[in-house]
Amino acid sequence: MPYLNVNQVESALSAAAGPPNELITQLITLPNPTWEGRTCRAIKIASGSGPGRPGVYFIGGVHAREWGSSDILISVIQQLTQAYRNNTGITLGGKSFTAAQIQRIVNSLDIFVFPQVNPDGRNYSMTVDPMWRKNRRPAPPSNPTCPGVDINRNYDFLWNYPAHFHPSAPIVNSQNPCDYQVYVGPSAASEPETQNVVSMFDNHPNIRFFVDIHSYSELILYGWGDDQEQTTDPAMNFRNPAFDGQRGLENDAAYREYIDGDNEALSITLGNRMRDAIQAVRGRGYTVQQSFDLYPTAGTSTDYADSRHFVTPGTEEVLAFTIEWGSPSNPTPFHPPYSEMGNIIQEVTAGLLEFCLRIVDAQAVFVHFVTAQNISGTFPCTTYIDHPLTNGNPNAILFVTHNWNPLGLPSAKGQFNNHPVGVWYAQGRQQWGIFNEDEAAMVEGVAFNVSVYS
Ligand SMILES: [Zn+2]
């Protein structure tokens, strides 16, 4: 069986949205035709609806030559819908998901999949130049033989990188249209393919988790791509012009990108879960690392996704990941023989389903603050969580939210109604407690979600 061509990806997507899946799927036509006039589509998989349902968003086929990414996502769509419909589990090599787990995923999440972001490029790679990476924007008059933009350098995040990065930063971006790999385009988000990916975030504001599927190197990347991370100085961030000209150097103190420490911990936890599920399929060991550890970048999808809530008030925080599937030791690593690609499809499918499952299980624990307890002068207003997942489990990672707005995590404090709220493990009680330092903040009847990652 060969790789799916452009039309086969689209027809598989349309078929997955039709009978007998029509009750749990919705085909989404994206607003911008490609340069060659192709219409792009995504699919939503969900059973039920309601407030507080997190959205999970997977994209693939951004880079034209990475053929297997679209095949992976079509497989995820087909397997998930079929197993849900038939109330069966999914077995992927040595990794299995039960029927009940599949039901929970589809009943609890809005899963958005956009499997073929760059159909023009995929078609060109499959028919003319197998190593083609960019889209097919027509060549500019100044460079009449140089078509194409790297979509994954075109997002509106530090896009004008010479103004923002240190001159010596080894950044893998280019302003030259003739760069075969990483031309950033004429302006930020200039490309219809980029705008299509962004439109999904705009139109589905409950998206809180994002994975962009690429190849190759057997990596799971989280966090920022522009510099190393730090969790202590929120003012040292991509929006602050005081740090222009300093970004992108490794192991220097002059600039490191700010990330909330709890989000960093949660990203690593979710990355490790994907890694373990992938390994269970047939033993391949993927590495979880910060995006910057590969090389510094600007204008990528994951940094854009992470940056949205800083830039646009009212948008949800997104945790974004890149998976680089496939071993560099494959003789043609962008296009492994399809027998090997079949194994990789199983691995990445397992990783993505596990990712969904951890998010669902995190949602499953609800704590409702009906009445806050007033236990002492030190912590004037404290409520303990009494749940089998957290009792006696000091290593649980709690993600405390109100309507999915983060409040606080272990050893950290968040804010609720402008009052400080914190979470800690009480050794004496063997229970987790949520406290605030100001009784006025604890309103009777307010419900919090406590998500548990353990
Ligand atoms: Zn790629």
CA distance 220 to 354: 14
| Cα 63 to middle of ligand 1, angstroms | 5
| Cα 157 to middle of ligand 1, angstroms | 17
b (16+ CB within 10 A) / e for 385-403: bebebbeebeebbbbbbbe
| Cα 64 to middle of ligand 1, angstroms | 8
Pseudo-torsion of CA 210, 212, 218, 219, nearest 10°? -50
| Cα 361 to middle of ligand 1, angstroms | 30
Class of domain 6-363: alpha beta
| Cα 214 to middle of ligand 1, angstroms | 4
Domain boundaries, the chain: 6-363, 366-453
Chain centroid to CA 328 = 23
| Cα 110 to middle of ligand 1, angstroms | 25
Q: From the CA atom positions of the chain, what is the Rg in Å?
A: 22
| Cα 81 to middle of ligand 1, angstroms | 27
Neighbours of 368 (CB within 10 A): 11
pLDDT digit string (tens) for the chain, length 454 residues: 699 999 999 999 999 999 999 999 999 999 999 999 999 999 999 998 876 688 999 999 999 999 999 999 999 999 999 999 999 999 999 999 999 999 989 998 999 999 999 999 999 999 999 999 999 999 999 999 999 999 999 999 999 999 999 999 999 999 999 999 999 999 999 999 999 999 999 999 999 999 999 999 999 999 999 999 998 999 999 999 999 999 999 999 999 999 987 788 788 888 999 999 999 999 999 999 999 999 999 999 999 999 998 998 778 789 999 999 999 999 899 999 999 999 999 999 999 999 999 888 665 444 433 223 333 333 345 667 777 767 787 766 665 554 444 444 333 444 444 445 566 777 788 887 766 554 444 433 344 555 554 4
| Report field, pTM of the whole predicted structure over 0.85 | no
Which pair of tokens denotes residue 418?
Answer: 């402008």
Are the C-beta atoms of 284 and 364 separated by less than 8 Å?
no
Residue 185, φ and ψ in degrees, nearest 5 = 95, 170
CA distance 43 to 214: 19
**From its phi and psi, is residue 450 left (phi > 0), alpha (psi between -120 and 50) or beta?**
beta
Which pair of tokens denotes residue 33?
Answer: 């035709």
CA distance 115 to 343: 18
Residue 298, φ and ψ in degrees, nearest 5 = -135, 155
